[in-house]
Amino acid sequence: MKIALIQTNPVIGDLARNTAMIAARLDEARAAGCELAILPELAVSGYPPQDLLERPAFLADQERAVARLVADTRDIGVLCGVVRRHTGEFGKPLHNSAILFADGKVLATAHKRLLPTYDVFDESRYFEPARASVSVSFRGLKLGLTICEDIWNDQDLFPHRLYAGDPAADLLAEPGRRPDLLVNIAASPYHRGKGGLKRRILENICRKYAVPLCYVNQVGGQDSLLFDGNSLALDRQGREIVRGAAFAEDLVVIDSDRMEGTASPAPAMAADAELLAALVMGTRDYVRKCGFTKGLVGLSGGIDSALTAAIATRALGAENVLGVALPSPYTSQASIDDARALAANLGIRFEVIPISGVFAAHREALAPLFAGLAEDVTEQNIQARIRGNLLMALSNKFGHLLLSTGNKSEMAVGYCTLYGDMSGGLAVISDVPKGLVYELARHLNQEREIIPANTITRAPSAELAPDQFDQDDLPPYEVLDRIIAAYLEEHRTMAEIVAMGFAPDTVADVVRRIRVNEYKRKQAPMGLKVTTKAFGPGRRYPTAQNYREER
């Protein structure tokens, strides 16, 4: 039997679009001679639908869309992720389900058993878990049905397991229930380094139970989450048979009668190329799924805005990106020249709006109240907020989505201005540490210079005061980034971070800055999640709190 693995990029709630896209892909699968097609988790609604699941109208519309898809599908079996009602007398009202249908009839239904509630996930808010796993025969092939998290509880890889049960083991350890093919439909978000862990999980299942496996993953950007696709079919030794595209929709075909990984696997993406592809996809999908076609970036001449503009250009096309420099009295000519050179290298439109006059007007208006007071960060923030105001005016007038340019290092310690450089509709690199920003810039310049060399080599500066440099106020970024990663992503104590070789006062100051700037981040634009712990829905800290870790 030929089987199509179809990774789709849904728009959450656009049921007509999603089902039309599925129907078109099923036509392709039929044309390729496939008898079965496998689609991702919640493929009709898109994942995660969040509190849309609390709306009765949404649930009814999703059910009608699924019914039409089932009724209209002929000559091919389809395994598809959908929302189903829970009919039990107690429990959550819904199931995260997989249905198998063919020729207008639903043949089998399986519900997700393991419902994640960590990091960005909150599935127990909506769904009732199944109590048992399901295997079903289709045209002589017994399929073991699992949904995403159901395979993430193997005691070989997770010594401290989050769940008591292991759905994959339940299906595969009992001879009477053992499937010929284990299937996992998923909406598994991307972060750096996750691909290797996911591959180990899948390979371990195949080898331990001597079973071939098909893993079909959603692709595309959904708010802050990025889904990488990379669907896989592995043979019973865990060898790759086929792999779906990374960060793009795809349809790949396997033959259940020839489930041997004889071909050499395609080389995996290099880490920097993978991260760049994720950010480009996330930017493109967020802009377009929110109804925009064009992007706007304030170009300071610095590395962060340069990388953001380069990502936007790849995502939207040069003709759809506007770069604007807004020099203040402290902006160097080198910064303006670098911004102009970047725009030329990218082929985007470039405009200059000086803000010295507007800044002077603000100072004049405030002079009576500020009389006798020395200049401080207040005057620096006024410049940043003027820029934010002017950029938002351009966004409003021309319908361009403003892309903010702050990186994770700055966002962590509050080295950014609320209602200033934090203004915008999407924070493209807010989960990318400063050191990694430089890595991506050098990666972009491998074949030709896109980001001017001077932008990469000169010391970073906000240029909001005379002779100002980032490192006058912050530790060196290689130190800052390591402390931030240890504290935020690895959850290390301050004592453990000091033991890594960092000065106690430096560690204490960085942790203090992270804590006191929570209020800023709560008001920041949504960012694209590319690390294990991003600022956003997966990090839930109170803003008004007074916990101090003992040193």
Which residues are known catalytic residues? 41, 112, 148
Rg from Cα positions in the chain: 26
| Helix intervals (H) in 212-323 | 271-289, 303-316
Pairing of strands 295-298, 401-404: parallel
The Cα–Cα gap between 391 and 409 comes to 23
Alpha-carbon distances, residue 79 vs 34, 307, 333 (angstroms): 13, 40, 60
Residues ≥6 apart with Cβ < 8 Å to 491: none
Structure tokens at 20: 């039309």
Q: Could you give the angle at the alpha carbon of 197 between the alpha carbons of 486 and 433, nearest 5°?
A: 35
Q: How many CA atoms lie within 13 A of 96 on its CB side?
A: 29
Of 179, 245, 215, 242, the C-alpha closest to 38 is: 215
Whether the bond between 48 and the residue before it is cis, its omega within 30 degrees of 0, is yes
The Cα–Cα gap between 485 and 120 comes to 18
Pairing of strands 2-7, 36-38: parallel
Q: How many CA atoms lie within 13 A of 269 on its CB side?
A: 20
The Cα–Cα gap between 220 and 268 comes to 19
Residues ≥6 apart with Cβ < 8 Å to 46: 10, 11, 12, 13, 14, 18, 218, 222
Residue 256 and residue 141 in contact, taking contact as beta carbons nearer than 8 Å = yes
| Helix intervals (H) in 445-499 | 453-457, 477-484, 494-499
Alpha-carbon distances, residue 472 vs 265, 457, 459, 469, 511 (angstroms): 49, 17, 11, 6, 18
Q: What is the DSSP string of 76-114?
A: SEEEEEEEEE--SSSS-SEEEEEEEEETTEEEEEEE---
Of 223, 224, 265, 259, the C-alpha closest to 246 is: 265
- DSSP structural state of residue 486: I
